[in-house]
Structure 1
Amino acid sequence: MPSLRSRALSAALIAAGRRRRFGSAEAVRTRVAESARRPASHLPPRSLGRVAEISRTFVGAWPVYDVAPRGTEPTSQVLYVHGGGYIGELVRPHWAMIRTLVTQAGARVVVPAYILAPRGTADRTVPVAADLLSGLIAAGGAGGTVLIGDSAGAGLALAAAQRLRDRTGAQPSRIVLISPWLDVTMSHPDQAGIEAADPLLARPGLREAGRLYAGTLAADDPRVSPLRGSFGGLAPLTVFTGTRDVLSTDSRELLRRARAEGTEVEFHEEAGLPHVYPLLPVPEGRAARERIVELVRATAEL
């Protein structure tokens, strides 16, 4: 049974019409056009600078933020890949999670503001993300490297890990996927029933966002939909999903396929919780964040 606060938040999201953002292909195209005219900011909130040292570099055309504990040495490092359906920038819930990783896990967090679709497509984006991950792993430093992604960012993170495995065999210490979007075809037969209860997402708009991200690639290409790739040889996975998330089918399929290929999976599914609940200000979200902090801290002991 979800907490009272979780139920109230889901009701508020429905009342606010948040799902309309992905309610149709036209809604997504309108949003993309508006973003092209007036790009959203991906800058970190000023409050983060009070507890963290923040710098910015560029990897190709990508701004990449480096966020580290203020006054202390980091004990591990995280590559955090944000969600937003491949068409949305970093927003406050992402930065709040990053703040938690810095202040509670003592981690250095590297945050790419990758180019969004339709300019940023999978054939261009996945190789850059893989290169960034490879560089962090090779640089080493204190502790290990944890790869974390939420929603579309989790799909990009997994695709990057698969590409790096195929290229060199290298992997981070752990991969954490928060409500991952892993198959942009949105073709799982169970999604229709789940969609009716989802307060945030709808299939028509997700399909269009996936089409824009795919570019010239097929929607079922593993670079676009890493659920269609292979899972052997990947780092241990931790997955968080909720049953009121139309994308929960991706997490369940990942669990089945990854374990069948011998990859370790720690799986958390919360009844009645919506998309990206670990980023939300609810008790279940706080518990998920605490577990993620534990996992990041554990890499410092490797």
Structure 2
Amino acid sequence: MPSLRSRALSVALVAAGRRRGLASAEAVRALVAEAARRPASHLPPRSLGRVAEISRTFVGAWPVYDASPRGAEPAARVLYMHGGGYVHELVRPHWAMVRTLVVQARARVVVPAYTLAPRGTADRTVPVAADLLSGLIEAGGEGGTVLVGDAAGAGLALAAAQRLRDRTGAQPSRIVLISPWLDLTVSHPDQEALEALDPVQARSGLREAGRLYAGTLPTEDPQVSPLRGSLGGLAPITVFSGTRDVLATDSRELVRRAREAGSEVELYEEAGLLHSYPLLPVPEGRAARDRIVELVRSAAAQ
């Protein structure tokens, strides 16, 4: 059973109407139009600078933040791809995860503020993400490279790993996917029932966000929906998902298909937990973050 704090948060999210951003195609279009008029900030919070050395470079049009532990050599490298339906910028829970990885895992964390849809589309975004991953792996040095993504960022992370595999055969030490959005068609038959339980997302809004990110590609294209691509030859994958998440089907299908393809994959599915629960301030989220820290530390020992 979910903790009392998790249940209270679920009630609060329903009361606050947190579905409104992805509640419908119209809501997504309104969100995108507002972002075009008044772009949201992707800057890290000042508090992160107290524990991390932070720099920013540009890869094409992408601002890319690089956070490393203050006063210590990083033990591992992490490429972190943030979620938000491909239409939301980095927000405080994403930066809180970055802080956890810097402080507790002693990792150097590279965080791209990738171009959002509809300007940023899969055909443009996936190759740049794959280049960033390749550069971190090739940088070598102490420790390994871990690829981490949440929600839409997890889909982008997996697509980047697939592209790099096809291009050079290289892979990170591990791939960690948090409530991944991997099939942007949002067409799994179990999702109708899950939607009724999910206080955060709705299928119609997800489909519209997916359409914008797909651009000229069909949403079935593996660059857009990496669940529909080859899942063999990938690094070991760890997946976190909650059962009150309309996208839980993507995690389950990934585990099934990856194992059929011969890839190593493990799933942590928490009953009654919400979308991206490892980013939330609840006991189950803290336990998931502890596990992610363990995985990054394991990569550091490789």
Q: Residues of 2 paired with 1:92 and 1:301: CA distance? A: 29
Q: CA RMSD in A?
A: 0.4
- 2:130 aligned partner, one-letter code: A
**Residue deviations 1:68-107, cap 9 Å, x none?**
0000000000000000000000000000000000000000
Deviation at 1:22, TM superposition (A): 1.1
Whole-Å separation in 1 of the counterparts to 2:146 and 2:102? 13
Distance 1:135 1:115 in 2: 19
Give per-residue Cα distances to partners, 1:231-267, cap 9 Å, x unaligned: 1100000000000000000000000000011100111
- The within-5 A match list for 1:140-159 is 140-159=140-159
1:196 counterpart SS class: helix
Question: Which residue of the partner structure matches residue 215 of structure 1?
Answer: 215
Alignment of 1:59-70 (within 5 A): 59-70=59-70
Q: Who is 1:206 aligned against?
A: 206
Map of 1:298 onto structure 2: 298
Equivalent position of 1:285 in the other structure: 285
Q: Distance in 1 between matches of 2:117 and 2:202?
A: 18
Distance in 2 between the 1:91 and 1:20 partners?
17
Deviation at 1:21, TM superposition (A): 1.4
Equivalent residue runs for 1:244-283 within 5 Å: 244-283=244-283
Alignment of 1:176-187 (within 5 A): 176-187=176-187
Q: Which amino acid aligns with 2:70?
A: R
Supply the distance in 2 between the matched residues of 1:135 and 1:78 (Cα, whole angstroms). 12
Would you say 1:58 and 2:51 are equivalent positions? no
The residue correspondences of 1:1-302 to structure 2 (distance < 5 A) are: 1-302=1-302
Deviations 1:268-291 (A, max 9, x none): 000000000000000000000000
Q: Which residue identity does 1:17 align to in structure 2? A: G
Shift of 1:225: 0.3
**Per-residue CA distance 1:198-248 (angstroms, 9 max, x = gap):** 010000000000000000000000000000001110000000000000000
SS of residue matched to 1:243: strand
Q: Which runs of 5+ in 1 are unaligned?
A: none
Segments of 5+ residues of structure 2 without an aligned counterpart are: none
Paired residue type of 1:98:
V
In structure 2, the residue corresponding to 1:272 is in which secondary structure? Answer: strand
One-letter amino acid of the structure 2 residue matched with residue 3 of structure 1: S
Distance 2:270 2:231 in 1: 24
Separation (CA, whole Å) in 2 of partners of 1:154 and 1:115: 16
The code of the aligned residue for 2:213 comes to: Y
Normalised to the residue count of structure 2, the TM-score between the two structures is 1.00
1:2 positional shift: 0.6
Give the distance between the partners of 1:122 and 1:220, measured in 2 at CA: 12
Taking every aligned residue pair, what percent have the same amino acid on both sides? 82
Tell me the number of residue pairs that the alignment of Structure 1 and Structure 2 aligns: 302
Distance 2:22 2:68 in 1: 34
Q: Structure 1 CA distance, aligned partners of 2:29 and 2:289?
A: 33
Q: 1:18-47 CA distances to partner (integer Å, 9 max, x unpaired)?
A: 012111100000000000000000000000
- What CA distance in whole angstroms lies between the structure 1 residues aligned with 2:266 and 2:286? 18
Displacement after TM superposition at 1:135 (Å): 0.6
In the aligned structure 1, how far is the partner of 2:255 from the partner of 2:10? 26
